[in-house]
Amino acid sequence: MKQVLTRPVASGKARLAGILTVALSVPLAMVISGGAAASGQTSLTESRSSTKPTIVLVHGGWADSSGWSGEISRLTKAGYPVITPANPLRGLTSDADYIRSVLQTITGPIVLVGHSYGGAVISNAARGVPNVKALVYIAAFAPETGETLQALVTENPGTRITPAALDPRQYPLPGGGEGTALYIKQSAFHDAFAGDLPVSTTNLMWAEQRPFSLAAFAEPSSDPAWKTIPSWYLVSTNDHAIPPATQWFMARRAHAQIESVEASHVSYISHSDVTTDLILKAAGSVS
């Protein structure tokens, strides 16, 4: 009688272990690149070297990340990864620390963009982050060491965001005490902030505004990153929040590549095409 040799059927766990053993024995580079070396396709290293920079868009006070929707749409269609972190709007140092923590999670080159108060934040957040390769300021603060936004916004006449245009509201601080949150009054919002948008739109923006802490206005800037990182600046020539003369001054002081647009303070909303074009110029400089 012929002896028949039999093997026990592997259990589900045993089969899974076998599959994992085979898979993990394949070189990792081959798994990631899909066998690029064998097929003559671009290698992983070459692919990384040609990766487009990540565009990080930082909003300012009385706004949120949704205002960048025009830029997000255009930049993603052009193949750029985009992230729009929420700016806490509570203090220049703490806000910059938060944005820096986001930047430190990104591999590869970064183009960092800031609108209004977001410009002060990116000036501080980019310090010590070596893969930030370009800064873009959109009607934004670009403070020097020790300067406050309060001093800059009153350096030249023209701002309509005055104490009379603001509603202060108290809020509790985590460590005790109270902070002051500033809201723009509805009666002032359109003309002071977004005069080239329909009133129906700015009424919604007013209702949805994220308040801006008084502490952020008064906190001095640290040594700004525009001293060491190439910068671009879009001046809004009809701005009633940050006077255009102050924008030109800050842009020239930062040795930025400067363009201008006939727009209100929210040029990134009313002229997202122009804003995107400037961001793409900055991105094109990054190798």
Residue 12, domain member (yes or no):
no
Q: Which residue do the tokens 């842009």 mark? A: 251
Per-residue confidence (pLDDT) for residue 50, from 0 to 100: 56
Cα–Cα distance, 225 to 135 (Å, whole number):
8
Are the C-beta atoms of residues 103 and 125 closer than 8 Å to each other?
yes
| Alpha carbons 258 and 249: distance in angstroms, whole number | 11
Sign of the torsion formed by the C-alpha atoms of 223, 138, 116 and 245: positive
In a domain, 8, yes or no: no
Helix axes 117-125, 92-103, angle to 10 degrees: 60
Closest CA to 221 of 134, 154, 153, 121: 121
| Entry pTM | 0.83
Judge contact between 216 and 62, C-beta under 8 A.
no
Please check whether residue 65 is in contact with residue 59, taking contact to mean a CB–CB distance below 8 angstroms: yes
Per run of 10 residues, the mean pLDDT along the chain (length 287 residues) is: 39 38 32 31 36 97 97 98 98 98 97 98 97 98 97 96 97 95 98 98 98 96 98 98 98 98 98 98 94
User: Is residue 227 in some structural domain?
Assistant: yes
Q: Name the residue range of residue 190's domain.
A: 52-154+162-284
pLDDT of the residue at 51: 86
Q: Is residue 25 part of a domain?
A: no
Continuous H helices in the chain: 12-25, 28-33, 36-39, 44-49, 69-77, 92-103, 117-125, 149-153, 186-193, 199-208, 214-218, 244-253, 267-270, 272-284
Does 29 reside within a domain? Answer: no
pLDDT of the residue at 11: 42
199 located within any domain: yes
Where residue 205 sits, what CATH number does that domain have?
3.40.50.1820
Number of domains in the chain: 1
Tell me the two tokens of residue 143: 């403070």
Q: Does residue 2 lie within any of the structural domains?
A: no
Q: Is residue 17 part of a domain?
A: no
